[in-house]
Amino acid sequence: MEETQQSLPPFSVYKTFYLVGIKGVAMTSLAQILIDLDKTVLGCDVSEAFVTQAILNDLSITCDEGFTHNIPETVDCVIYTAAHQGAQNPIVKEATKKGLPTYSQAEALGHVFNAKKGIAVCGVGGKSTTSAMLTWILSELSLKPSYSVGVGSIVGLPRTGVWNTQSDFFVAEADEYVTNPQEVQNGAQPEPRFSYLQPYCTVCTNLAYDHPDVYSDFSVTKKAFMAFFSQIKAGGILILNHKDLPELELPTDTEVKTFGSAGDCDYLYVYEESESNEGITKATLIIDQKRYQLTLKVPGRYNVENAVAAIAACDSVGIDIQDALKALETFASTQRRFEFKGEKNEILFYDDYAHHPSELSAVIRAAKSWYKNKQLYIAFQPHTYSRTKSLLDDFATVLSSTTHLILLDIFASARESLDETVSSSILAEEISNQGYTENIPVLPNYSALAEYISDQIPKGSVCITLGAGDIYKVHELL
């Protein structure tokens, strides 16, 4: 497909960009896009290794350590992440003092995304995988999309961010978290990252309450999403999970289509766990009373739902449904999304980024659908004090349904301070209060988890590490 909108991003006049917090998945994705635009990219971040390290190394991007050094003289534009103090980061403040233009990552993504026919994927859970599925389909069908997906890698694709002049499509993961967390905590209104995007097609995988550090309650979350839906371009389309319809006031000037497993859906799926086994997931998709076979290499109902959302988006932009389904058969997920890490001592190891109760529930159910006759060990590292505290009961309910559970201490965000009123030990107590009868080990870090796995988990088991912190690093020690 030839590009129909040749306009370049407004900041295309700049030559050398400095990305503050470049190791984050969204920032690394943006760095790749800037390189495609023939820009020089430099950056800085903390010293720890991130899941993006391989891509940054492949791109030979210079990454300064810390945030107290001077900005290189060649830099003429600075982009920053919400982490590491956001606009109040010392590097960003120095840039402002020197008169250099500064953009948040969200604003910069908006500039590149809005120059094309954008497909934005939002939602509390599923947006990374659905974005990756869409990117995979378009790539497999030789439609050469631009894209930005907030993951460490997409299996089978060399990049997580691409600017392609040969296509008008741009697939972007649209994040509901805010660009200004420190300001929100001081009383300012939330400014969601996706507020800078003006899509042609918006897909919302699901709605749930998350990010209690910046959204006071679910009603504020819903308002943020509804405001985003109002930004769809004229003639565009909104694709929603059918179960979320009662929660929303829908835009009256935008076509709305729904997907789901019940009700009057435009894209209805039928999924039976009994039809899924290790390595294969099957479902039936019904569109306009016509039945299609959906076959995936990723597990669980939640991935079926992600796939149906991706198919709905493809159909809405004119892609043949059967072609899209065929392409999806070879989709092999992304880094940290039910990622197979290998087998050792006859134990199968997986890793997943799930860190919200609904995500944990989905992954655990998916694992059970594939491994019906194996012992399943779940190792979970809660992410942020604020989320763990606000959703403690929900976490306990989900985790009490497991058979073998291991907890790590809470992984704190760079944006928050220690909160001694919540801990993984308190979470373990609440899980036990909800009927879990086994002992729950609470370990300090992933190194201790590696020792526990080696000593305690029997052969023939499946072990899944869950969480948005550094728990994934345990697999390097195994």
Of residues 13 and 331, more confidence is placed in 331
Other beta carbons less than 10 A from residue 15's beta carbon: 12
Last residue of a domain, one of 104, 126, 160: 104
Domain membership of residue 30 as a residue range? 10-104
**Predicted pLDDT of residue 188:** 85
The amino acid sitting at 415 is R
Residues 316 and 167 occupy one common structural domain: yes
Residues 92 and 169 occupy one common structural domain: no
- As a whole number, mean pLDDT of residues 433-451 equals 96
Asked if the model's pLDDT at residue 3 lies above 50, the reply is no
Q: Which of 21-30, 135-144, 176-185, 363-372 has the lowest mean pLDDT?
A: 176-185
Residues 237 and 312 occupy one common structural domain: yes
Residues 224 and 355 occupy one common structural domain: no
Asked if the model's pLDDT at residue 20 lies above 50, the reply is yes
- Is residue 421 in a domain? yes
- Is residue 5 in a domain? no
Closest listed residue to residue 68, CA positions, set 110, 20, 117: 20
β-strands 201-204, 117-122 pairing = parallel
Residues 456 and 382 occupy one common structural domain: yes
- Is residue 110 in a domain? no
- Is residue 333 in a domain? no
Last residue of a domain, one of 83, 104, 125: 104
Provide the domain count of the chain: 3
**Predicted pLDDT of residue 4:** 37
Last residue of a domain, one of 275, 296, 328: 328
pLDDT in tens, 61-99: 989 999 989 999 999 999 999 888 889 999 999 999 999
**Predicted pLDDT of residue 117:** 96
Give the Cα separation of 232 and 224 in Å (integer).
14
Straight-line distance from the first to the last Cα atom of the chain, in angstroms, rounded to the nearest whole number = 46
- As a whole number, mean pLDDT of residues 300-316 equals 97
- Is residue 133 in a domain? yes
Residues 208 and 281 occupy one common structural domain: yes
Residues 90 and 151 occupy one common structural domain: no
Residues 350 and 317 occupy one common structural domain: no
Residues 92 and 170 occupy one common structural domain: no
Instruction: Assign residue 36 the CATH number of its domain.
Output: 3.40.50.720
- Is residue 2 in a domain? no
Instruction: Assign residue 381 the CATH number of its domain.
Output: 3.90.190.20
- Is residue 46 in a domain? yes
pLDDT in tens, 325-364: 999 999 998 998 999 999 999 999 999 999 999 999 999 9
Give the Cα separation of 50 and 53 in Å (integer).
6
pLDDT in tens, 446-472: 999 999 999 999 999 999 999 999 999
Closest listed residue to residue 112, CA positions, set 169, 45, 163, 168: 163
For the chain, give the mean pLDDT: 93
Asked if the model's pLDDT at residue 2 lies above 80, the reply is no
Instruction: Assign residue 144 the CATH number of its domain.
Output: 3.40.1190.10
- Is residue 307 in a domain? yes
**Predicted pLDDT of residue 6:** 42
Token pair belonging to 91 = 């590097």
pLDDT in tens, 242-289: 999 999 998 889 999 999 998 899 999 999 877 777 789 999 999 999
**Predicted pLDDT of residue 9:** 64
Residues 349 and 322 occupy one common structural domain: no
Residues 208 and 316 occupy one common structural domain: yes
Residues 255 and 348 occupy one common structural domain: no
**Predicted pLDDT of residue 114:** 96
Going across the sheet that includes 16-20, the strands are: 63-65, 40-45, 16-20, 77-80, 102-104
Of residues 120 and 435, more confidence is placed in 120
Closest listed residue to residue 177, CA positions, set 214, 202, 207, 148: 214
Phi and psi angles of residue 59, each rounded to the nearest 5 degrees, phi first: -85, -5
